[in-house]
Amino acid sequence: MNHGSIFRSLARATPPRRYPKPHRLLHWPRVVRQQRTTLQTPSPVPTRRTMASIHVDDKVKDLINKSYPQAKDAGDDPHKLSTTAFPHVEYTQPEKAEIEQWLITSSHIASATEDPAKTAERLSSLNTHLSTRSTLLGSKPSIADVGMYARLAPIVKLWSPEERTGEQGYHHIVRHLDFVQNAPMFSLQVAQDEKVAVDLDSIVAPVKTFDAKAEKEKKKKEKAAAAAGEAAPAEEKKPVKEKAKEAGEKVAGAVAGAVQGQKKEKKEKAPKQPKPPKAAAVEKPLSPAMIDLRVGHILKAERHPNADSLYVSTINCGDAPGTENTSEYEGKIVRTVCSGLNGLIPLEEMQNRKVVTVCNLKPVTMRGIKSCAMVLAASPRLAPGVEDNHAGPVELVNPPVAAEAGDRVYFDGFEGEPEPVLNPKKKVWDYCQVGFTTTESKEVAFDVAAVEQMKDSGKTGIATLKTKSGVCTVPNLAGATVR
């Protein structure tokens, strides 16, 4: 996917909480403990052109300038605004793209000229998104939250109680706005009388939580009632409530009779001994083998219709028919993959070629197209403190000539089974990718010493990236970073 201009990783970090205990009726999502990382989730790829072209309107800019004076000189670039307003937060490339996308979404939601049906659909999607997140990025504050607040607060103030917390209400949107306007992590400068008023004691319909045990009991009762109804066809003329009641009484009577008979015929059984608790799952040690690297065959590549820097490739990664997030193209099972290579690699060089793909990252929707893998590429390693301007050069990783689509790609000495899907919270990709490099002989390799989290793994040295057919290489870049 090359999440970023080309590169990205998926994870979330968590700022400190302000509230001692979430109100149960508003159903605040659980926030995980703070981590220093670069998540999942899922997000469009930012580009120099698209990021800078997002217009931050006066309403949003006024709130930013009032709350974060240090951001006055940051212009309209959402990334610069976020990093200036929240200097303690690090944003990954997917998160930068997500900030951009949410700013666009909030402008559509707040627009008076938008189709009401579209607005309702966007509000519903936003409400669902926030049902498991404290902020739009998950737990990190960003200008996207500030923009959403500035644009939605005037609208939410006019909502009826039913719209806010009714059966079909937007509970999580209301909760999010209340969090943004009050949480110290945002330090939003909004006068008390200008805030969205939230009455926690006035909830029309609390958010329903799924109770698996209660649902199971309900189904058992329904099944028993249905069985009793079938056994007595003459009762079909009776009212439904009466039939259900009698069915319930029959079941209860049968159970009572069975229990009474057991008391007469058998001695009371000794109480069962409690089962020992299940052993906790063993945490796998960090290893690049957890990353599902495969040879991919690009069957076609074209420019993304909504993003200047992206290509959309149709890639055969050797998936079996019916695999999630795949489709069929020219008789092959394929994945759709977005990569930020437009302007860095000629489109003709993307056609009908073999590449190395990462196949167990969570899919990410990039400007309306779902990307279900990532293409590995190399670029010069930057010196500490030097900002990446994404100008290249960039070279795709080449598998051996004899390699076939779907062939497993692995680092020598790390041949374990990959995870089905990488958990963004465990940051396997983030940690391991730091060690992805190229040698002086242009071979792609893994430098164990570069990964701080593997210093006690017992592994050392440089492990080359290979398939059963040979070693993976790049044309010219030595000492590069690969992602």
Looking at residue 115, its pLDDT comes to: 80
Tell me the residue range of the domain where 80 lies. Answer: 48-194
CA dist 159 and 223 (Å) reads: 42
The pLDDT value given to residue 243: 47
Q: Select the more confidently predicted residue: 201 or 21.
A: 201
pLDDT of residue 80: 87
Among 388, 442, 435, smallest CA distance to 413 is for: 435
pLDDT of residue 125: 87
Q: Which of 180-184, 257-261, 413-417, 445-449 has the lowest mean pLDDT?
A: 257-261
Q: 40 pLDDT exceeds 60?
A: no
Q: Could you tell me how far CA 353 lies from the centroid of its own chain?
A: 29
The whole-number pLDDT of residue 333 equals: 95
CA angle 461, 463, 466 (to 5 degrees): 170
Which of 198-212, 228-242, 395-409 is the most confident on average? Answer: 395-409
Q: What is the CA radius of gyration of the chain?
A: 28
If you average pLDDT over each of 8-17, 20-29, 401-410, which comes out highest? 401-410
Q: Which amino acid is at 319?
A: D
Can you tell me the distance from the alpha carbon of 436 to that of 403, in angstroms, rounded to the nearest whole number?
Answer: 21
113, part of any domain: yes
d(CA 146, CA 190): 11
pLDDT at 177: 92
Domain-terminating residue out of 194, 212, 232 = 194
Domain end, chosen from 194, 214, 231, is at: 194
pLDDT at 279: 59
Paired sense of beta strands 369-371 and 377-379, if any:
unpaired
Does residue 18 carry a pLDDT above 70?
Answer: no
280 falls within a domain: no
Assigned domain for 212 exists: no
pLDDT, residue 180, reads 93
* Confidence at residue 139, expressed as pLDDT on a 0 to 100 scale: 86
Rounded-to-integer distance, Cα 283 and Cα 315, Å? 32
DSSP string, 323-371: -TT-EEETTEEEEEEEES-TTTS-GGGGTTEEEEEE-SSPPEEETTEEE
Predicted local distance difference test score (pLDDT) of residue 199: 79
Query: How sure is the predictor about 415, in pLDDT bands with cuts at 50, 70 and 90?
Result: confident
Q: How far is CA 373 from the centre of its chain?
A: 14
Residue 48: pLDDT band (50, 70, 90) is very low
- The average confidence (pLDDT) of the chain is 80
Site of tokens 């930012």: 46
Sign of the Cα torsion 322, 327, 331, 334 reads negative
CA distance 137 to 102: 9
In the prediction, which pLDDT does 258 show?
A: 46
Looking at residue 457, its pLDDT comes to 86
Domain count within the chain? 2
Residue 406 lies in a domain: yes
Task: Give the model's pLDDT for residue 370.
Answer: 94
Encoding tokens for residue 321?
A: 């028919």
Mean pLDDT of all residues in 340-359: 95
Separation CA 396–CA 442 (nearest Å): 12
Beta bridge mates, 274: none
Rounded CA separation 334/326 (Å): 5
Please indicate, yes or no, if residue 201 is contained in any of the structural domains.
no
Same domain? For 171 and 293 the reply is no
- Domain annotation covers residue 68: yes
Q: What is the pLDDT of residue 270?
A: 59
As a whole number, mean pLDDT of residues 93-99 equals 88
**What percent of the chain has a predicted confidence (pLDDT) above 90?**
43
CATH of the domain at 82: 1.20.1050.10
Confirm whether 56 is domain-assigned: yes
In whole angstroms, what is the distance from residue 164 CA to residue 158 CA?
A: 10
Same-domain status, 179 and 301:
no
| 407 phi, psi to nearest 5 deg | -60, 140
Residue 233: asked if its preceding bond is cis (omega within 30°), the reply is no
Query: Domain ends where: 142, 169, 194?
Result: 194
Looking at the structure, do residues 293 and 189 belong to the same domain, yes or no?
no
- Lowest average pLDDT, out of 42-46, 121-125, 410-414, 446-450, goes to 42-46
Q: Are residues 310 and 187 in the same domain?
A: no
One-character DSSP codes across 416-482: PPPPSS--GGGTHHHHHHTTEEE-TTSBEEEEGGG-GGGTTSS--SEEEEEETTEE-B-SS-SS-EE
Task: Quickly state the pLDDT bin for 462 (edges 50, 70, 90).
Answer: very high
Q: What is the mean pLDDT of residues 135-162?
A: 91
Which of 98, 95, 89 is CA-nearest to residue 16? 89
In the block, tokens 């930068």 appear at: 96
231-234-236 Cα angle (round to 5): 85
Assess whether pLDDT exceeds 70 at residue 83: yes
**For position 271, what pLDDT does the model report?**
65
pLDDT at 262 over 60: no
Cβ density class 101-127: b for 16+ within 10 Å, e for less: bbbbbbbebbeeeeeeeebeeebeebb
Residue 287 has pLDDT above 80, yes or no: yes
Both tokens assigned to 404: 């076939």
Range of weakest confidence among 86-95, 160-169, 241-250: 241-250
The predicted model gives 167-184 an average pLDDT of 89
- Quick check: is 271 in a domain? no
Distance (Å, whole) CA 119 – CA 108: 7
Judge whether residue 461 has pLDDT over 80: yes
- Same structural domain, 314 and 444: yes
Helix residue ranges per DSSP H, 131-239: 143-156, 161-165, 171-182, 212-231
Q: pLDDT tier at 390 (50, 70, 90 boundaries)? A: confident
Look at the block and give the residue holding tokens 């052109």: 49
> What pLDDT, in 10s, does the model give residues 291-322?
999 999 999 999 999 999 999 999 999 999 99
pLDDT band, very low/low/confident/very high, at 228 (cuts 50, 70, 90) = low
Which range, 98-102, 230-234, 409-413, 452-456, is most confident?
409-413
